[in-house]
Amino acid sequence: MEKVKVAVIGLGGIAQLIHLPFLLKANNVSVVAVAEINKSRLNTIADKFNITERYTNYKELLEKSDVEAVIVATPTSTHKEIAINVLQAKKDVLVEKPLARTFDEAKPIVEAARKNKRKIMVGMNLRYRPDAMILRSLIKNNEIGTPLYVKCGWFRSQSSKGKWFTRKEESGGGVIIDLGILLLDLSLWLLNYPPVETVSTQRYFHNTKNVEDTSVSFIRCKDTSIISMDMSWSLPIEKDIFYLNLYGTKGTASLNPFRIFKRVEDQLIDLTPTGSESPLSLLRKSYMNELKSFIGAVRGLNPIFSSGDEALSRMKVVEAMYKSASENQEIKIKDI
């Protein structure tokens, strides 16, 4: 079987630490080209990973290279232009989250994928964690009954030290669009995508001026399920914290640590699988599974599991979160 020819546009931290190392280890992928506007970084990274095709202008890559799929790992403000050009070049694309800075900016990307009959996937890696996938399967099998309430949080340093990352005009926002969108995606995925009805959000600017560095949200869904989300780059904590607790009519479950309990009559039965993995191992596997899923979709072996249409729905909720915070009131989600 021929290898899928892949290009990576943008050679920042996630491309260096995640995309390139994992893709180069895959036996069904050939990383044939990279693009990066910083020429020094371009040559250094391309030399390190032994990639001969290298471009400072991604449009030149699209014109000259015969790649089938492209990973876009550039600053958020560039996603719209790059992704649309990739799709118009008749190549499938994986765009790192968020898909764009706003819903209105993301919508033309999804429309371009549909018009050009290409596949678009958005990097929502938390749903590809092995423990999250097991939990999703157990929920679908009704092991904990109807899921009612998700309480989740993430406290860590900001994901990028690049200056663009804390400039709203380039990133689209702060910790909400960095960590919150991933928590939101994971929660709604576990709840089986109930439509969101209302959002209430509070945000703080402890160590930042242009974007929020701490936020708390309360989300009501139309099926009466509820999501509570806390996220921060700035709260004083001893170590990074990521957690998710899910409560159903017949049981409860959690991630970090991974625990599952089912109520049988008056007893709680422990359904937790034996053996545990470290948070770092789960994180690495989430990205590996995400990339495998994308390559499988390019080959036609599986559907896109974190699609552009889903990303549009998430962007609608994220915009409501920002509106709620700025207006200091609960916001009702309008249908897309």
Tell me the pLDDT tens digit for each residue of 17-29: 999 999 999 999 9
Q: Residue 9, SS3? A: strand
Whole-number average pLDDT of the chain = 95
**DSSP per position, 64-89:** H---SEEEE-S-GGGHHHHHHHHHHT
Amino acid 275: pLDDT: 78
Token pair, residue 251, equals 């049981």
In whole angstroms, give the CA distance from residue 29 to residue 24: 7
Amino acid 160: pLDDT: 82
In whole angstroms, give the CA distance from residue 163 to residue 171: 10
Burial grade of 144 (CB within 10 A; 0-12, 13-18, 19 or more): buried
pLDDT in tens, 67-125: 999 999 999 999 999 999 999 999 999 999 999 999 999 999 999 999 999 999 999 99
Amino acid at 278: S
Name residue, tokens 């080959």.
299
Alpha helices in 207-327 (DSSP H): 279-299, 308-327
Q: What is the pTM of this model?
A: 0.95
Amino acid 157: pLDDT: 87
Above 80 in pLDDT, residue 335?
Answer: no
Name residue, tokens 């200091």.
328
In whole angstroms, give the CA distance from residue 24 to residue 49: 8
Phi/psi for 171 (5° steps) reads -90, -25
Q: Which residues contact 246 (CB under 8 A, 6 or more apart)?
A: 135, 139, 144, 147, 149, 150, 190, 252, 253, 254
Above 80 in pLDDT, residue 233?
Answer: yes
In whole angstroms, give the CA distance from residue 42 to residue 56: 7
pLDDT in tens, 157-185: 888 888 888 889 999 999 999 999 999 99
Amino acid 334: pLDDT: 81
In whole angstroms, give the CA distance from residue 280 to residue 130: 12
Cβ-contact 205, 165 below 8 angstroms: no
Domains of the chain, earliest start first? 4-124 (3.40.50.720), 126-289+313-332 (3.30.360.10)
- Residues across the chain: 336
More confident residue, 245 or 237: 245
Of 218, 224, 230, which is closest to residue 194 (Cα–Cα)?
A: 224
User: Averaged over 20-39, what is the pLDDT?
Assistant: 96
β 69-72/53-55 pair status: unpaired
In whole angstroms, give the CA distance from residue 259 to residue 135: 9
Amino acid 336: pLDDT: 47
User: Averaged over 120-132, what is the pLDDT?
Assistant: 96
Alpha helices in 201-307 (DSSP H): 279-299
pLDDT in tens, 179-228: 999 999 999 999 999 999 999 999 999 999 899 999 999 999 999 999 99
Cβ-contact 98, 121 below 8 angstroms: no
In whole angstroms, give the CA distance from residue 256 to residue 286: 14
Compute how many other C-beta atoms are within 10 angstroms of the C-beta atom of residue 306.
24
